[in-house]
Structure formats: structure tokens, C-alpha cells
Structure 1
Amino acid sequence: MKLGRDITLWGLELGLMSMARGEVARFWFSPKYAYGPRGCPPHIPPDTTVLFHVELLDFIDSEECDVFFELSDAQKDTFPLEKVLKVAATEKEFGNYFFHKQNFGVAKHRYKRALSILDRSCSSEAERSQINTSKVPLLLNLSLTYLKLECPERALKYGKKALEVDQGNVKALFRCGQACLCMKEYSKSRDFLTRAQQIQPFNRDINNELKKWARCYEEYVETEKDMCCRMFDSSCG
């Protein structure tokens, strides 16, 4: 089991690895397993024994991932599809964890690693369908993550990749519309957003984004008008 990056104490890491989901425990840690000779100023003095009350609500079991990444490329290609999908899903969970922590750089890395796991040759149409079903949420998550990272070009790229797999995916259309709006590509943005609205006409997020598009476009037109007026005024002068 891999722990989140906010687990910093050796003793706490060992203790958590001994617990089951939903279990409540109490741990006494000597300084060696806690904050050591430095302590944690100003609250915990040096060389302090500490008590932790812990409830393990949930965890991500990455044992299958560890096994998978130790395989050679040839072995990965023959790894059972069911297990491949499970490994990809686990990597996606890690991505979601870091996304919710607003650590978008690490989330992006996890989502991409999950996609790389799914990049394998398919033996049947049914297998391809299963892989594509797992790919789409990852592509959408990457698109959103790149929007958070203020990289709309990348967000558009992954939104389009999702549409290649599922042409009518509303979230993919929405993400592409958002990305184009960030890039001030107003015509493309409106096209993506109106296509999404046609599928889900009462979707609040889509309708709000179209209102935002209208405001941004109006500001853009006014700015263009002002620039033209200034150009003509200067030429006349």
C-alpha cells in the first residue's frame, strides 16, 4: 500500500500499514518513530513521545500496481486484461487523490501513467471496448487538470482525444469549449458548447459557460472596436 504524501512519520506509516479499512487505533510513538531530536516547533518539543488516535476511513491498495510495473514490456502485453484495468483504475484513484489535494502536477502524472497502462494491442473488439471505456474518464480528467494548470492547448488536446473515442460525450465537448474560450477561440468554443447543450439542454454548467462565453465575446468585440477607433483617430491626426 502506498500512502499519501502528507504521511510524514515513519511510525505513522508503519501503523497505518497494519490497519484494516474502517479500523480505529491508538499508537504511541517514541521520538525515533515520530519527530525525533528536532521535534515540531512550536507545538512538539525535541525527543517527544507522541500519541496518535487514528481512524482509517479508506485507502488505495497499490499492490497490483507494484507487481505490474516490475514486469517486462513483453510480460505486460500478456498480463490479463482484468488486472490491467484494475491497475489503471488504481492509478486513476491516485490521480483523483492528488487532484482533490490541488496537486495538479502529480495528478497529471498519475493520469498519464494510467493511460500508458491501457496502451496495448487488443485481441478483440470487446477488449478494445473495455479499454476505451477506461480511457475516456482519464482523458477527461487530464483535460480538466490541464485547465487547472492553465494549459488550455493541452486541455483541448485531451478533450478531443476523448471525443475520438466517444463523439457525443458531453463532458468532452464541455471541456473543449472551456479550453477554446481560454484561448479566445470564440467560434470553436461556441461550437463545442452548443453541441453539448443540444445533448443536455438543461445542464447548468453548460448554460453558465455559454453565458460566460457571451460576456467574454462582447468584451472582445468592444475591445476590437476601441482599437479600430484609435487606429483611425491616429491616422487622421
Structure 2
Amino acid sequence: MNDLPNDDYEPNPILKVGEEKEIDKQGLKKKLLKEGQGWENPEVGDQVEVHYTGTLLDGTKFDSSRHRGTPCKFKLGQGQVIKGWDQGIKTMKKGENAIFTIPPELAYGESGSPPTIPPNATLQFDVEQLSWTSVKDICKDGGIFKKILTEGEKWDNPRDRDEVLVKYEARLEDGTVVSKSDGVEFTVKDGYFCPALSKAVKTMKKGEKVLLTVKPQYAFGEKGRAASGDEGAVPPNATLDVELELVSWKTVTEIGDDKKILKKILKEGEGYQHPNDGAVVKVKLIGKLEDGTVFLKKGHDEEEPFEFKTDEEQVIEGLDRAVVTMKKGEVALVTIPPEYAFSSTESKQDLAPVPPNSTVYYEVELVSFEKEKKSWDMNNAEKIEAAGRYKEEGNALFKSGKYARASKRYEKAAKFVEYDSSFSEEEKKQSRALKVACNLNNAAYKLKLKDFKQAEKLCTKECESPLQEGSYIQLADLDFAELDIKKALEIDPDNRDVKLEYKTLKEKVKEFNKKDAKFYGNMFAKWSKLEHMESNKSGNQAMPKEEEPISIDSAA
């Protein structure tokens, strides 16, 4: 590069004691006299403290903090000292001692600093880095500098939705107090007093105390702020110094894909465990309307905690979803919109009715919970029993029109018996029958959603099952197969293979109708009978002998 003075230029060199190198494009040199400690260097905005002696090249001393007995303090990179200092001192470690040779362009230039420093003077500074206080440029634009006065606890910081409790005192640069509070609560994203407080608390830990230097763009800008009550006036374009302490905060979590259910933690829980779907939980509940009316109270006033099983529709959906995010002993305020509460109908509760389309608020304490067993904690018989139970629950949900919940049950059931390498031959027959039934029943739901790819995937998976011989058409319900083929013809009407498949299908329908139209008219009935057949083959009566069929025609 042509603008480099020589090939020795290094912006942050590693030097040996006595070695000198250029560290700036404009010729700034650094000679190491004493190595520093650790590996950190001060950053732009940090308040550094140094001792120095300044001389001209002929050795004439013009200034010395050592002679005065008082270290020099300044903010690095803020133009409070000559450029050579800003650029040189940021390369130093704590306790390091170095001599900087600074050209006029990085010192006092053509004018010098009469009477001690002549024009165009190259200067030498013997500098010892005593210490520095970390000052962070929060917004990376020089608008808010944060100096930590007291370190905080743990590692996490508040987020936009969280509700923080802070203490603060804001002063003008001349020390005039313009605002203060010994405790004020606000939501981070909504902010308080001036924009800087919201920006700053997102970088702080619980118990942390800081000093903020706030430039006008994050304070009150060009207009300033008039005095009001106990609050003082802030002049236009004023920089503020703000002492800020983050006392605590309440974490607010957005629950669900649409993030409409809000959970604010009032008291932290224990450990890391949460209830899972199917867990038995014990809670204390207080349900309120927006106006504060209490409509439900359970588990309080010496009453036993309220017990329910998650993911079983034993409570409203919003409460169900919130509880599985909680820890034992946690207390939370849950805000639930109408679509996850009681919807558009009035609900009669223990203490007061809930009007239609009401947003409701629950104060919930999770007293205890017992997780549902995972498949790896079960023996083979328990896995088969659990799979059968969830399949039956899925069928009941499908019959009542709750297709999405039914699909979840089928998926869960299939997972319990997904890996059968340790199963006996008898157990494998049972598990295969369950997997076939669950996957094909689940395919019915996917077809209702017009998710033909997933439906075909689920059905094709079962084509490989030893329970049956033949193709997709022989396994899947014929009505569904026809829907699938018609969909394919809509996409590609001239596809010869699809047309042949459709012809084959119609022939199969005709043939199967002759044999047993009732048997092949309903997928659930068909697979119930297949299960019964498999159960009889194995001689195991643990499987249900007969299952009430769910009419796919009526559900479609």
C-alpha cells in the first residue's frame, strides 16, 4: 500500500521489551519499555488512567503527570487528548510502559501549543497504563456510553417484553439534577424518561449499577424538555449523565406460534425441568377479568391444589400451553386472549361468569408436577399399551371433529412403537398393527388439509408393512386414493401413468365392492378389523377386539 510509511506498520503490534515499531499509517511509533498484564486492551469510550512525561525530540520536557503527582484520566477515542494518544494508548495493557513518538499530524500540527510546543513538532511521551474502567458504546454510534459502577448478577439481560424495576438519577453536565426515582417499573420496549434508559437496561444484569453518558439524540434532542412538577428542565441539545441501577425484572414470555399468550414471571421457579404433554400438574389458580373481577379461585384458602393433566383439554388452551413452560414453584401472570380462553360464548365459572370475547388473566403457581413417562423409560408392554391408548384417544378426537389434536395423538402413538428391535415376534405384530392404523388414520387428517404429499407419505410408509400385500391402493381407503389421483389429474391431466392408476383404482373398487363394500368403505373400520385379525393371530387379547369406526365420509 502506497500510504504506508514502511513495511513495519502494524496497527496493534506484539513487541519485545526494547523493540520499536510503527503502529499508525501516519508514522506513530511505539517502543516497549515494560510488558503489561493479561491480554486485554482498553476500548473506545473506556475511561483510562495513565502517568506520562512529554518531551521534544531534543529531550526538553514540557509536561509530566508524574511531576504533579496526579495521573491523567480521559475517555479513550473521544477527542479529549491528541490523536496520537487515542491511537497509541488503545494498544496498551494494564501496567504496560511504552514510549510513543508522535508526528505533528497526530499532535499539535502546524500551530503547535505555544509557548512549550513549537509548530510542526514531533513529540515523545513516556506513558504508563495504570488502569481503565470499561465504558461501552451501547448503540455503536457514540450516543450512549455505559460505565459499570457495580457488576450485576448471573448472565441474562431483560428483553423488550420484560417489566423492569430501576432506580436512576439524571443530571445535566453541570451537575443539575433534572429527574430521579428510588424505584420505577416499566416495560422495556415502552421505555421511561428518555430513550437511553430502555437501550441501557437491555445490556444490564440484575443488580448492575452504571453511569450513562447520554448524547441529545437519546435524551431530549434539539427541543429539550420543559420543567414539570419535580422534574427539571432539559435544555436543547443537552448531554445527560444518568446513574442507573437495574434492581430486578419480571420476564415476559410470548407463547405459541402467534405469540398471543403472554406469561409474566412473578416468582422464579426451581431447577430446569418443565411439565411435558400428558404430565399431571398441581397448581394454585386465580382467574380474573380485565376489570379485576375474580371468576375462578382454586388451591387457595387451605384448599388442595387444583390437579389436571396437560394436553387433555381439562382446562382452557391458553392455560394448558402456559403451564408446560413453567418450573416447579414458579408463580406467573398469564394473559390469555379470547381465542385461547372461552371464545365468543359466555362461560359460567365458580365465582363469576366470563363474558364472550374476554381476555382473561390467571395468576398461576405450579406447586408440583409428574411428567408423563417417555418411551425409553418404559418396557415393551408399556410402550404397546401407551400406543394403543393414544390411538384410541386420537380416534375419539377425530370423531368429535378435533382433527389437529387427533393427528398429534396418532403421531405420539406411532413414536411409542417406532423402534421395535427389542420386541418379541408377538409384540412386533401388535406394534405393526398400531403403526399402520395410526399412520393411515393420520393420513385422513392430512387429506382433509389437502396435504396430499404427507398423506401419500404416511400411506406409502405402510405399503412396506408385512401386514398387507400390494400397493398404496390396497392399503389406503379407496375413497382417499381416488381423491389423491383426481388431484394428480388436476395438476397433469395428460399423465398416462396416473390415468392407468385411475383405471386400476376403479377396477379395484368394483372388485372390492363385490366382496365387502362395507369393509373397504371406511379406513378406520378396516384397520380396526386388521388389528383384530393380528391380535387373534398372536393370541394376545391385550388389543381391543373391536373399535368403533369413525365415518370418514361424514368427517370429510
TM-score bracket for the superposition, by shorter chain length: 0.5 to 0.7
What is residue 232 of structure 1 aligned with on the other side?
none
Deviations 1:68-120 (A, max 9, x none): 22x6x4x3xxx332211110112112222332232322221221111111111
Q: Do the aligned partners of 1:177 and 1:188 also contact (CA within 8 Å) in 2?
A: no
Q: 2:313 maps to what in 1?
A: 5
Q: Secondary structure at the match of 1:5?
A: coil
Query: What's the offset of the Cα at 1:144?
Result: 0.9
Tell me the amino acid that sits aligned with residue 99 of structure 1. F
The structure 1 residue matched to 2:379, chosen from 61, 80, 85, is: 80
* Whole-angstrom CA distance in 1 between matches of 2:425 and 2:436: 16
Instruction: Map 1:177-192; keep pairs closer than 5 Å.
Output: 177-184=482-489, 185-192=498-505
**Larger RCO: Structure 1 or Structure 2 (Cα < 8 Å, ≥ 6 residues apart)?**
1
Match in the other structure for 2:452 = 152
Report Cα offsets for 1:109-133 as digits up to 9, x if no partner.
2211111111113244333222111
| 1:195 to 2:508 alignment | yes
* AA of the residue aligned to 1:85: I
Contact 1:173 1:195 in 2 (8 A): no
The reply on whether 1:34 has 2:339 as its aligned counterpart is no
Instruction: Note if contact 1:176-1:189 (Cα within 8 Å) is conserved in structure 2.
Output: no
Radius of gyration: which is bigger? 2
With over 3 angstroms needed to count, the CA separation of the structure-2 counterparts of 1:149 and 1:131, relative to structure 1, is same
Contact 1:104 1:145 in 2 (8 A): yes
1:155 Cα deviation from its structure 2 partner? 1.5
2:495 corresponds to which residue? none
Query: 1:109 matched to which residue of 2?
Result: 408
Distance in 1, matches of 2:499 and 2:351, equals 57
Q: How does 1:50-199 map to 2 (within 5 A)?
A: 67-69=372-374, 73=376, 75=377, 79-122=378-421, 123-165=423-465, 166-167=468-469, 170=474, 172=476, 174=478, 175-184=480-489, 185-195=498-508, 197-199=510-512
Shift in Å at residue 150 of structure 1?
1.4
Identical positions, percent = 19
User: Between Structure 1 and Structure 2, how many residues are aligned?
Assistant: 156
**Residues 190/104 of structure 1: CA separation in 2 closer, same or farther (3 Å cut):** farther
Q: Which amino acid aligns with 2:500?
A: S
Residue 226 of structure 1 corresponds to which residue in structure 2? none
Give the aligned CA root-mean-square deviation in angstroms: 3.6
Matches of 1:181 and 1:35 in 2, distance apart? Answer: 52
Alignment partners' CA distance in 1, 2:456 and 2:406: 17
Amino acid paired to 1:198: E
TM, length-normalised to structure 1: 0.52
> Please, which runs of 5 or more residues in structure 1 have no aligned partner?
11-32, 43-64, 208-237
Distance 1:90 1:2 in 2: 16
Quote the Cα distance in structure 2 between the aligned partners of 1:151 and 1:91.
Answer: 23
Larger helix proportion of the pair: 1
Secondary structure of the structure 2 residue equivalent to 1:183: helix
SS in 2 for 1:68: coil
Q: TM-score, normalised by structure 2?
A: 0.25
Do the aligned partners of residues 157 and 197 (structure 1) sit closer, same or farther apart at CA in structure 2, a change above 3 Å counting? farther
Larger strand proportion of the pair: 2
Q: Give distance in 1, aligned partners of 2:459 and 2:439.
A: 7
Please tell me the residue identity of whatever aligns with 2:399. H
Unaligned 5+ residue runs, structure 2? 1-308, 320-347, 357-369, 490-497, 522-556
Residue of structure 2 in register with 1:227 after alignment: none
Do the aligned residues in 2 keep the contact of 1:143 with 1:158 (CA within 8 Å)?
yes
Partner Cα distance (2:418, 2:513) in 1? 31
Residues 43-72 of structure 1 show CA distances to partners (whole Å, capped at 9, x for unaligned) of xxxxxxxxxxxxxxxxxxxxxx95422x6x
